[in-house]
Structure 1
Amino acid sequence: MEELIAQLNRYNYEYYTLDTPTVSDKEYDVLYDELVQLERESGAILPGSPTQRVGGELLKGFSEHRHLARLWSLDKAQSVDDVRTWNQRVLKLVNDYNTKNPNTPLPQPSYVLELKYDGLTLNLTYTDGKLVQASTRGSGEVGEGILAQVKTIRSVPLTIPYQEGTIEVQGEGIMNLSVLAKYNETAVDPLKNARNAAAGALRNLNPKVTAERKLNAFFYNVGYSDTIGFQNHQEMVDFLRANHFKVNPYITFFDFIEDTIAELSNIVAQRDQLDYLIDGAVIKITDMRTREALGYTDKFPRWAVAFKFEAEETTTVLESVSWEVGRTGKITPVARVEAVELAGVTVQNCTLNNIGDIERKNLKYALGSRVFIRRSNDVIPEILGKATEDNDGEEIVFPTACPACGSSLEQRGAHLFCNNRLGCKPQLIGRITHFASRDAMDIESFSVMTAEQLYDEVGVRDPADLYSLTFDQLIGLDRFGEKKANKLLEALEKSKACDLSSFLFALGIPNTGKTTTKALADHFGSLDKLMAATADELITLQDVGAIVADSILTFFADPRMQTSIRTMIELGVSPTAAAVTNEPKQETIFTGKTVVLTGTLPTLSRDEAAKKLEAVGAKVTGSVSKKTDFVIAGESAGSKLTKAQQLGIRIIDSEEELLQMLGEA
C-alpha cells in the first residue's frame, strides 16, 4: 500500500502540477483500484492516500482556524505612477536604514513580478510533511477550515518531501476557464464565472460538490516555518517547486523598477490568452532581509504592492436583444445593455452566442434584469449570466423568421439558421467579404463596405461576380474615382493566381478552417480531384472526420457552388496546389524539431515564419513544454518566453538570427 500511494502521488504530481503525465488514465485507474481494494480488505488507510481526497460525508459547518502567521492584504497601485510612488518610499526606507546601519547595509532593491489570481486564497498547514489543515484567508488572522474541500484539488500535495516541523504555504484556489466551459456544457445550473465557481466550491459543505468543479491551485509564499528560512524570493520559489507545489511559470525577476513596469504591459497583453482569471500583478522586493527591515503598516507589507488591472467583469442591465445574420446563415443574438465602463471602454453591446446559450445561462427571462458581463481585450463583451436568481425580467422572444429576408428559420442544435442562401443579403455580403479577406483571396483594399456597395449598386450576388466587374461599372459608383476603380480591378486580377488552400478557405466550406483547407490542398493536389473525392477518401486525412467530410461533400454537390466555381475558373481564376516534391527537404538545425513562435518579428508575419520553418521539416506548435526545442521570440513576447526561459529552452530573439539558421541570410 505504501508503494502504491507513493506511485499514485507521483503520477498525480506529474499530471496536475507539472502538466507532464507519464502514464495513461487507464494505467492510473488500475493502480488506484488496487489500492482501494487493499484498503477495503485491510481496514487500514495510510497517511497521504489519494483515496482520501474526496470525503463521503456532508460536513456540518466550518470550524475556525487561527493562522500561525498573519496573511496580509496588499496595498494597491492603480497606475504605473502609483508603482513609482511605492518604489520611492521603498528606496527612502532602504536609504534610511543603511544610514543608521552602515556596517550591515541592505542591498540595492531588486524586484519579482507575479500574477495576481482572481480566486480564493488558501493557507495550507503541513506538519512533518503531512497536510494537516487548509483554510481560507478570513480576517488574515483567523480563517475557516476547509481541509476536506482542499484535498479534492489534485494539484495540492497531501504529503511533501520536507518533513521538519510545521510550515504554512499560501496559494490561490482557481477554476480554469476551460474547465468552467466544459462543466457548464452539462450543468443543470451553469456557473456564472470562474472566480465565484472556485470560491463557492471551496466553501461548500459537501466535498463531493467541490470535487466536481475540478479546481486547480497555484502557490507563491511560505508564510510560516519553525525550521527553515530563505535569503530571497527565488530560494522560496525553489523550495515550493522542490516540495511538489504547483508554481506558476510566470515569475520574473528584475534589477530595476522601470524594467518591472515595462513588463506589466506584456502581462496585460497576454491576459486574455491565460486559462484562468487574473486581476493584476504583484510586485515584491526579492531580498528577505530587506522585507524584514521594511516591515508592515497596520494593513500592508511595505515591501509589496498589487498593480490592479481595469475590471474585466461587472454587472449591468440587459435592455434588449436583436438578431444578426452571418455569412453561413447562422442567426446570432446581440444584447444591448445599459452603458457601463469596463476595461477602459464604454460597453453597450454584448454577445450571447446562440439560443442554447441564452437558455443555459438562465437568460430567457432576463430583459430588464441585471447581468454579469466580461470583456477581454478588444473582443466584444460576453454576458455570463444573471446577477439574480429569480426570473424577474421580461422574456427574450426567439425569432421564427429571418430578420433580414423573412424566410423561415431552422434550428440545428443550439443555433438558428436561415437557409435562403441566394436571397438573404447579409449572407451574400458576408460570403463575398470573407472570399476577399487576407487569409482567403487577399483582394487588397476590399472591405464589407465595398461588398455592400457592389451588392446594392452593381448587383454582385456571388464571389464569381467580382471577376466580371468592369471599369465603367466601378467608375460610376459613389466614392469610386479612377484610381480606386483601377486599384480594385488590379487586385482582382492579381488574386486569380492563387494557391489552392487559400481558394478553398475563401469558398467558406462549412466546418473547415485554414488548417483543414491546407490539408485538403496538400493531399489532393488539385481542385478537380478534391471535388471528385469520396467520404472514405476524405476521412483518411488527420483533420477530417465524418462531420467535416459530409460538409465538404454536401458543399461541392450543391449545383449553385459548382456553377460559382466553374464561372470563376472560366474567368481566369487558377487555384494551384503547392508543388509536391520527393526531393529531401533542406536540412537545417530546425529539421525534426518542435518550434514555438511568440511575439512580433520586424518583417515576417507569424504565418510566414511558420511556413519557412515547416519547409525545412520543423513542427510548429502553439504552446511551450519540455518537448519544445526552440522558441522564436519577437517583440512583446510574453508568458511563452518566460516559460521557455524557466525550462532552459533555446531562445532565438531576432529575425536575423532565425534567417541565418534557416540558411537565408
Structure 2
Amino acid sequence: MADFTAEMKTLIEAIEQHNYNYYTLDRPVVTDAEYDKLYDRLVELERESGVTLPNSPTRRVGGELLKGFEPHRHLSRLWSLDKTRDKDGLNAWLTRVLKLVGEYNKQNPDNPLPHPTFVVELKFDGLTLNLTYDKGILVQASTRGNGTVGEGILEQVKTIRSVPLEIPYKDGTVEVQGEGLMFLSVLDQYNQTAAEPFKNARNAAAGALRNLNPQVTAKRKLSAFFYNVGYSDNLRFTDHREMVEFLKENRFKVNPDIKFFDSIDDVMEELERIGSNRLSYDFLIDGAVVKVADMRTREVLGYTEKFPRWAIAFKFEAEEVTTVLESVSWEVGRTGKITPVARVEPVDLAGVTVQNCTLNNIGDIERKNLKHALGSLVYIRRSNDVIPEILGKATEETDGEEIVFPENCPACGTPLEQRGAHLFCPNRLGCRPQMIGRITHFASRDAMDIDTFSVMTAEQLYQEVGVRDPADLYGLTYDDLIKLERFGEKKANKLLAAFEKSKECDLSSFLFALGIPNTGKTTTKVLAEHLGSLDKVKEASIEELIALPDVGGIVADSIYSFFRDPLMQDSISRMLAAGVAPRAEEKPAAAADESHPLFGKTIVLTGTLSAMSRDEAADKLEALGAKVTGSVSKKTDIVIAGESAGSKLAKAQSLGIRIIDDEQELLALLGE
C-alpha cells in the first residue's frame, strides 16, 4: 500500500503541474498523449488499491448525483459594489475617498495614509465563487448567495481544471473569491453538438455550477478567474499587487488584464480602453472594477451598509451596433396578436451572435421610422439577457424598401383587425397557432403544470387527435394516445396521470391557465384571493373588478368580457364536468409586524431576481404586510428591479418612486 500511495502522490503532483501549465498559464509542456498516460496510470493504481487520495485529479470528473445544495456560511462577507456608468460618477466616488482619507490624516498626523492609488480589473459576467482552503486543501466551494450564506457547490467546482485542489500555502485557512465562466470559444464548440444549445455563456456557466449532477458540470468545461483573498486567519497584505502575487504563486488563474494607476484620469482612460475592446475577450464582461490599492486605506475607509467605500464598479452601457434589416415576418400568438419579428444580418453583440430582433407591433415600427427600412442599416441594442431590440434607422435617408403590414392572418388567412397599435386575428376556433398556443399555455408550469407536456405534444394532439381547446385534453383516452408516434405505453399512461393530477388545482393557476387577455399571474392571484371562488370571478361586475387592487378599467373589461364569451363559457363548463376543481388557496393569517419598513407599502416587482423567483419574493413581501401589485402608478411606494427590468423601471424613475435595484438590500429587508 505504501508503494501505491507514494506513486499516486508523485503522479498527482505531476498531473496537477500539467493542469496548471495548461489551464492556468495556457502554456502546456507535454503532449495530450503523455498527459493521458500519467492520468491512466493514476486511475489504474486507484482501482487496484481501492484508495483515492483527497487531492486526486480523478475527482474532477464528477461523482454521484447530489440530493441538494447545503448552505455554507462564508468566513468573511462577500460585498456588493456601488455602481456608476460615467466619469462624473467615478469622480464623485473619488471625492468621497479623498475626503475620508483627508479627515483620517488630520486626526492621525503621525501615521497618515498614502495618497490613493488605484487598481482596475475586469468585471466578469459569470457566477461568483468562494473557495475555502484549509492547510492548503480545497475543503469547500460555494456561491455568493446573500453575501453571508451561499450554497455549497464543492463537487461542481472540482470539475473546473483551473481551480487548484491543493495550494502551496499551508499555514492556515483562506477564502478566495473568483468568477466561474464558460469561455465563448468553449460555448461555441459545445453548441455545435449540443441537443439544446445555450443562448449565452453566463447562463451556461451558472446552470452548470448549480446543477446537482457534477458530471453535467464537467461536460461544460468551465474556467475561473480569481481576484481576491476575502479571509485569512494569518495572512496580511500591504496592497492589492501583493495579494495578486499571492494568488499567482498559489496557482490560481488570474486575468492578466489588471492595471495599476496613480491618477483617476489614467483610470478613466483604461476604462474607455476596456469598453472599446470588450468584444475582443473570449469571455463576457459587463464592466470594470476600480479599487483603492492600499490595504490599510481600505480598512480605514471601511464599508457602508451595502458596499465597500474603497471600490466601485464601472458598468458599461447597453451595447449598440448597426446591421442591415433583412426581413420582417409576422407571428401569431395564442391571443391572436400578430407580432412582427425582424431578421437582421448576423452581428456580434455583447458576446452573442444576433439574427432576430423584436419590433413589438406596427405602432413601434412607425414610431421608430422603420416603415421604409428593409435593406437599410439599423441600430440594435442588447442588454444582459434581453431579446435584442431595433432602436431605429442608422441613416436619415428613405433608402429602404417598405415593410408591408399584413391584411390577412399569415396562418389562416382571416382578415385582421387593428386594436390600438396591434393587429389581431379574430379566428379563435380556426387559427392553428392560436389554438396550439392556448393549449400549450394552459398546460405550462405556471398554469395547470401538466407534467411532460410541451408545444410538440400540443401540435401532435392538434394534428392527429383533433384537440382544439384545453377542455379537449380531459377527454383523451389511452386508445387516443397509444396510436401516436413516439407514444408508448409508459408515456401515454404518464400523460393521462398528469391530466388527472392537474384537476386538483388552485384557483389563481386555473385563471392564469385560461389565458384571460390583459391579465398575468399577479392579476389572477388578486382575483383568487379577493373573490375566493370561480363562480364569484365569473359573476363579478366591472365595478366589482375595478375595486380590486391592480385592476384598472381595461383589465376589468377584459375579465368581464372573457367570462361572457360563449366559447369560453363552454370550454370552462366542459373542464368542470370532467372533474377540474379549482379552489382558492387558503393561507393562514399571519400577523405582520406593523413596525416593519415594508408594512403597508405598495410594491411592484420587475426584472429577474437571482436569489429567488418573483413569486417567492412576492410571498415574502406580503407576509411582511406589503401589497404587491403588477403595475406602476403614483400609488406605488417601491419598485424592486432585478436584471433586465424594462418599462416599469423607467416609469418608476419618471415618477420619482423609490427603487431597490440591489438584491442585497432586498434580502436585508426580508430578513435574509
Q: TM-score, normalised by structure 1?
A: 0.50
TM-score, normalization by structure 2 = 0.49
